[in-house]
Amino acid sequence: MADLLILTPQVDADVLPALGLLSHRVRQIPAQPAALVGAPNADAILVDARADLAAAKTLCKILQTTGAGSPVVVVLTEGGLTAVNAEWGIDDVILATAGPAEVDARIRLVIGRQQRDGDGKSQLIRASGVVIDEASYSAKVNGRTLDLTYKEFELLRFLATHPSRVFTREQLLSEVWGYDYFGGTRTVDVHVRRLRAKLGDMDALIGTVRNVGYRFTEHDPAELAAAQDTTERAPARGVDA
């Protein structure tokens, strides 16, 4: 059983009827770039291209650019097959009229190929619009590349891999800087402040829990502002070390 995410112009539409006869967990979100921010993790992403091929192609290219981290399958009518080419950057196509056996087989194969190709390689970390590539030490937020120092990258990577978990400054200092680091915890505050500045309007992803420490706040964009009501920003201080 796989977790599937369907991007469709009309949420609650019966995009791929055969899925109703299978045991996969299916969620739908609007087929809009803004909806990709904070989208739930999925083993495979299905893009509904039945009605609007141009919009679907644009969405697929955005997924490719931002590093979706999951294989992308386009759902088409038979007439739409002639429009698909390598520029779409997708992993497979499937007709909306396909039967349960074919749908299940294609899903299993596309997920299996990704797992096989990923063996021995670093995986992308995706959370709330942030995509972290451990292999290239790069990170993007909503498709925008972040210009991070090594420690800023390590701090973001560590927090993003433990969403919603609160870490004290001492814990972060130990995990990111190492036990042999002799600087004080103010170093953590300064790096968090710099990281938030580079995240821009997504700075609320790094939340402060009063009198405790920091956490990666895994919310959709509408919830990020509300999350700040229960947190406070760390005060700007000088670099300790």
Element of type H or E holding 199: helix 186-199
Max distance between CA atoms of the chain, in angstroms, equals: 65
- Helices 186-199 and 150-160: crossing angle in degrees, nearest 10, is 80
- Per residue in 171-228, pLDDT (tens digit) is 898 888 875 566 678 889 999 999 999 999 888 999 999 889 999 987 654 454 444 4
Q: Which pLDDT score is estimated for 104?
A: 92
Sequence ranges of the domains in the chain = 3-120, 124-220
Contact by Cβ (8 Å): 199, 151? no
Average confidence (pLDDT) over 89-113: 91
pTM of the shown model: 0.51
- Per residue in 16-61, pLDDT (tens digit) is 999 989 989 899 999 988 888 778 888 899 999 999 999 999 999 8
Topology of domain 3-120, per CATH?
A: Rossmann fold (3.40.50)
Report the distance separating Cα 44 and Cα 110, nearest Å: 8
- Per residue in 53-90, pLDDT (tens digit) is 999 999 998 888 776 678 999 999 999 999 998 889 89
Topology of domain 124-220, per CATH?
A: Arc Repressor Mutant, subunit A (1.10.10)
Report the distance separating Cα 6 and Cα 96, nearest Å: 13
